[in-house]
Amino acid sequence: MAIQSKMIDDKNFTKYLNRHEIDAAVQALASRLNTDYEGKQVVLVGVLKGAIVFMADLARHLKMDTEVEFVRLSSYGKARTSSGTVTIIKDIQADIRGKHVLIIEEIIDSGRTLKFLYERLKQSGPASVEIVTLLDKSSKRVVDVPVKYVGRMIEDQFLIGYGLDLEEKCRNLPDIYYLKYPN
Ligand code: IMP
Ligand code: MG
């Protein structure tokens, strides 16, 4: 049996948000963005790999002129907690000067990854930079980073599914689960 289905069958995971609850959070965020960015040129900067599912769903609800870019940053490796050092593995290709940048993340924990990216993108002369996250573990924050758009505030739990991985697996699960017995 595949590892993913075995883990779920063994009940190491409990459902945390189902696809309908996720969809409601995504639509609420999109509706705020459609109001705030009406008539503006927006560049979505998705943080690989975790943000892909959220970004694909969010982008399809947006009505303004929207470009799609990705960055890949490394700070965690296979560990479940942040090592604290961030490096760029893949940078954006677009010129963001004068455009409105929205950093798209699926979850914020310590905030270190985003702080680094936020400061870096601001240096390229965009009209604005804001952060959009589906989930925010705000109690875990160790650096100050302005997160304007939050889908759901969550407690400190290790989550998988909808882009969130456990050692690179489970990103494709349509619902979000939390790990019952972390080790
Ligand atoms: P931060 O720099 O500590 O805020 O780390 C944020 C990144 O860590 C997220 O973009 C995720 O890729 C990863 N991460 C944080 N919490 C979780 C979790 O509960 N499950 C899976 N990945 C997580
Ligand atoms: Mg991420």
Q: SS3 for the chain, per residue?
A: CCHHHHHHHCCCEEEEECHHHHHHHHHHHHHHHHHHCCCCEEEEEEEECCCHHHHHHHHCCCCCEEEEEEEEEECCCCCCCCCCCCEEEECCCCCCCCCEEEEEEEEECCCHHHHHHHHHHHCCCCCEEEEEEEEECHHHCCCCCCCCEEEEECCCCCEEECCECECCECCCCCCEEEECCCC
* Reported pTM: 0.91
Let me know: does 179 contact 157? Beta carbons within 8 Å: yes
Q: Whose CA is nearest to atom 21 of ligand 1?
A: 164
User: 116, 164, 173, 177: which to mutate for ligand 1, most atoms within 8 A of CB?
Assistant: 164
**Catalytic machinery residues:** 109
Q: What is the mean pLDDT of residues 120-148?
A: 95
Distance between CA atoms of residues 10 and 61, nearest Å: 36
Q: Quickly state the pLDDT bin for 104 (edges 50, 70, 90).
A: very high
d(CA 114, CA 86) in angstroms, rounded, equals 9
Q: So what's the pLDDT on residue 85?
A: 77
> 127: CA distance to ligand 2 center in Å?
24
- Given a contact cutoff of 8 angstroms between Cβ atoms, the answer to whether 11 and 180 are in contact is yes
pLDDT, the chain, mean: 91
Count of C-beta atoms within a 10 Å radius of residue 33: 25
Q: State yes or no: pLDDT of 106 exceeds 90.
A: yes
Q: How much is the pLDDT for 53?
A: 98
pLDDT over 90 percentage in the chain: 79
Residue 137 CA to ligand 2 center (angstroms) comes to: 13
Probe target for ligand 1 pocket from 49, 75, 76, 178, with the most ligand atoms within 8 Å of CB: 76
- pLDDT value for 90: 95
Q: Is residue 1 predicted with pLDDT exceeding 90?
A: no
Of 20-29, 70-79, 125-134, minimum mean pLDDT range: 70-79
Q: Which pLDDT does position 180 carry in this prediction?
A: 78
Would you say the CB of residue 82 lies under 6 angstroms from ligand 1?
A: yes
At residue 183, the pLDDT reads 54
Q: At 179, is the pLDDT very low, low, confident or very high (cuts 50, 70, 90)?
A: confident
Specify the pLDDT at position 36.
Answer: 98
For the segment 8-24, the average pLDDT, to the nearest whole number, is 87
Q: Give the separation between CA 40 and CA 70, rounded to whole angstroms.
A: 20
Q: What is the pLDDT of residues 70-99, one digit of tens each?
A: 999 986 555 555 556 788 999 999 999 999
What confidence score (pLDDT) does residue 74 get?
83
Give me the residue label for tokens 């945390």: 16
